[in-house]
Structure 1
Amino acid sequence: MVRFIRWLLFPVTALYAGIVLIRNWAYDNQILKSTSFRFPVVVIGNLSVGGTGKSPMTEYILRLVKPYLNVAVLSRGYGRKTKGFRYVEVHDSAKLVGDEPLQIKRKFPDSTVTVCEDRVFGIQQIQNHVDAVLLDDAYQHRKLRPSFSILLLDYESLQQPVIPLPTGDFREMLPACKRANIVVVTKCPDEIPAEGRFTIESKLRAYTTAPLFYSKIAYQKLQKTNGTILDDIDLKKTVALIVTGIAKPQPLLSYLKPRFKKIISLAYPDHHSFSLADLQKISQTFQDIDASKKIIITTEKDIQRLPPSFITQHPLYFLPIEQSFLFDQANTFDAMVKRAFVLQ
């Protein structure tokens, strides 16, 4: 039914695509002006709506370059209840700064993490205090002219027709790839058939000559917020309630299902703000599970939005993820990123 309604909105899709095309043309021809800066400003973004792995990529790059430079992370802070420029602190809540910036700050507490919907203004507030800026989800923010752009496209979306919003899931069409310095196909399966790579590269090479990389999700150990790691030995005897508020929970569910005796899923929209009723439903669902060994699992992003009192009252674990490059491409990717930050 939802798919049918989205196709009914195809005239709106055509109008949206036309507006995006005109807007990009105006920026490309300098009719609309972009602001650039005299130090590295690296953008990570995507063409589709959510679920491409921008946060793991931001963490990967920050981990790579922070030993050499004072790099600030700037995000819009999607889902926060505040507006304007704000420094992110470890003790903040997701309502104040957004779940993804808060996750990054808690993992890299000595790094500067900021939020601002106006990326140019945000950079201006910190430019005298940092060596470089790494922007999460700013590929469509054309008011800013980055020194380097990394475009993420998830593997599954490239297996389907590329259709703009609201009928499809794309903010921009594939010609927008031409603005990227690097293109990364994310969330790939462990093995990509040769015909799969050929199909993807045929699609992308019509629009860009940028180096093309492939990465997958590398799931880490289940852990609590206090750092306790879950022992994998008894997972096959355990029932897990999986609570998610992310764009695409299916890969996570597919990963966890064979590892547990049984999984039960409660899926909420991306960046969902958990209400008291939601928390009561999660608690009740967990209590109703008839098993001697049972736990609750959520994502690292979702746990930023769960109240500390709820976390301490339940056997709640989160599953960190990282980027892992395929085809021995990590060293090449790392070298290109370091050059983008003038480290080589």
Structure 2
Amino acid sequence: MMLLNYLRFLLLPFSLIYGIAITLRKKLYDSGVMPSVKFELPVICVGNLAVGGSGKTPTTEYLVRLLTTYKVAILSRGYGRKTKGFILADGDATAESIGDEPLQYYQKFDGVTVAVCEDRVKGIEKLKENHDLIILDDAFQHRRVKAGLNILLFEFRKLGTLQFLLPAGNLRDVFSSRKRADVLLVTKSPVPLLHVAQQASINELQPNQAQKVLHSYLKYGDLKHLYLPESRSLTSIKDYEIYLLTGIANPDPLIDELEKYTKTIKHEKFPDHYAFKTADIKKFKSAFESGNEKEKIIITTEKDSKRLNAAGFKDLLVNLPVYFLPIEVELFEEDKITFDELILNYVKSNRRNR
């Protein structure tokens, strides 16, 4: 920890330079010197100020479930893919061709178009004629698009903590940029959420009169086998030895959930969007097989499962009890009513054929 703090101290001058560049860019867009493109259909942007870990993927999925009566397209950059340009997800899509999160959307939702493109303006141009609305996944900093509705996410446990801009910290945008958002959604809140904690996050975010500060939490489903059509409840693994494999930005909430059922968790942690290598999986498999506990299980995240389904890994893992744990976002009752109404009214009021 001391070494990490020392490295951050050394990187602070570069964070200062980055902050100046971000602020200048922000002023150029705010003043209209650098133009933004607005489209004649509803465009909802889901974003955050930090690098990963705020819950953009389950929030995007929440919106898809809410908007089932519309023809929806999800447009993402496709972070971690090995391709370039505009790609429409199809049955041949892989995590390498479109990215793990877009692949998750595509495989999860029938009737929803999923596309990736670094240039969001170009991507929207290709999608706009055949869709009622477009959800931009992780595009708050993509100022060339002027989204009709911006949802900005903040992780509950990080509010009120000292955070630095890249590269010393994880912030990729200045805190004042939150003023551009329509909804400030606090994610991964504790359940139950005390009023004093709710008010503390509102005080931290200091919303303007037009902004809504709402709170959400994570809801965990049943474990699903990575390769077989079977599932099991979390209660069924009580006191198991868990071998946890993650390549996400923030696995702490997942660990907190699993610790409700067992204290024996052996965690192999990789960076966000990590491209697993055969050597990694062989080493992990070896550790699992050498474990002494009779009742043991391998657990990973839904996002990581998309990369673990790549060619070569299945042969290594198929005979093992390997499961992923799905998550969903849910809002607290009053906030849910406010949020759903705001989203539905925005889409209804801005449809081209209204």
TM class, shorter-length: over 0.9
Cα distance, 1:326 vs. partner?
A: 2.1
Partner of 2:161: 160
Where in structure 1 are there 5+ consecutive unaligned residues?
none
Checking the alignment, whether the CA contact within 8 Å between 2:47 and 2:140 is kept in structure 1 is: yes
Cα distance, 1:192 vs. partner?
A: 3.7
TM-score by length of 2: 0.92
Partner of 1:312: 318
CA distance in structure 2 between the aligned counterparts of 1:146 and 1:309, rounded to whole angstroms? 44
Corresponding letter in the other structure for 1:199: A
Cα distance, 1:195 vs. partner?
A: 3.8
CA distance in structure 2 between the aligned counterparts of 1:208 and 1:52, rounded to whole angstroms? 24
Runs of at least 4 residues of structure 1 off by over 6 A?
Answer: none
TM-score by length of 1: 0.95
Partner of 2:93: 92
Residue 341 (structure 2) pairs with residue 335 (structure 1): yes
CA distance in structure 2 between the aligned counterparts of 1:252 and 1:154, rounded to whole angstroms? 14
Checking the alignment, whether the CA contact within 8 Å between 2:12 and 2:168 is kept in structure 1 is: yes
SS at match of 1:58: helix
Partner of 2:58: 56
Checking the alignment, whether the CA contact within 8 Å between 2:15 and 2:165 is kept in structure 1 is: yes
The size of the alignment, in residue pairs, is 343
For 1:294-335, what per-residue CA distance to the aligned partner results, in whole angstroms no more than 9, with x for missing partners? 110000000000034345232111000001112531121111
Provide closer, same or farther for how the CA distance between residues 210 and 264 of structure 1 changes in structure 2, counting only shifts above 3 A. same
Provide closer, same or farther for how the CA distance between residues 54 and 206 of structure 1 changes in structure 2, counting only shifts above 3 A. closer
CA distance in structure 2 between the aligned counterparts of 1:47 and 1:190, rounded to whole angstroms? 24
CA distance in structure 1 between the aligned counterparts of 2:158 and 2:246, rounded to whole angstroms? 20
Partner of 1:301: 303
- Following superposition of structure 1 onto structure 2, how do residues 28-47 of structure 1 map, counting pairs within 5 Å? 28-47=30-49
Corresponding letter in the other structure for 2:280: D
Provide closer, same or farther for how the CA distance between residues 239 and 41 of structure 1 changes in structure 2, counting only shifts above 3 A. same
Partner of 2:292: 290
Partner of 2:329: 323
Checking the alignment, whether the CA contact within 8 Å between 1:214 and 1:327 is kept in structure 2 is: no
Once structures 1 and 2 are overlaid, which stretch shifts more, 252-261 or 35-44?
A: 252-261
SS at match of 1:48: coil
Once structures 1 and 2 are overlaid, which stretch shifts more, 243-252 or 86-95?
A: 86-95
Partner of 2:4: 2
Partner of 1:202: 203
Corresponding letter in the other structure for 1:328: E
Once structures 1 and 2 are overlaid, which stretch shifts more, 52-61 or 209-218?
A: 209-218
The RMSD of aligned alpha carbons is: 1.7
Provide closer, same or farther for how the CA distance between residues 206 and 73 of structure 1 changes in structure 2, counting only shifts above 3 A. closer
Checking the alignment, whether the CA contact within 8 Å between 2:207 and 2:213 is kept in structure 1 is: no
Where in structure 2 are there 5+ consecutive unaligned residues?
none
Partner of 2:270: 268
- Following superposition of structure 1 onto structure 2, how do residues 74-85 of structure 1 map, counting pairs within 5 Å? 74-85=75-86
Cα distance, 1:89 vs. partner?
A: 2.2
Checking the alignment, whether the CA contact within 8 Å between 1:177 and 1:207 is kept in structure 2 is: no
For 1:81-110, what per-residue CA distance to the aligned partner results, in whole angstroms no more than 9, with x for missing partners? 111100112442101110000001110032
Residue 108 (structure 2) pairs with residue 102 (structure 1): no
Once structures 1 and 2 are overlaid, which stretch shifts more, 146-155 or 198-207?
A: 198-207
Checking the alignment, whether the CA contact within 8 Å between 1:90 and 1:109 is kept in structure 2 is: no
- Identity value in percent: 37
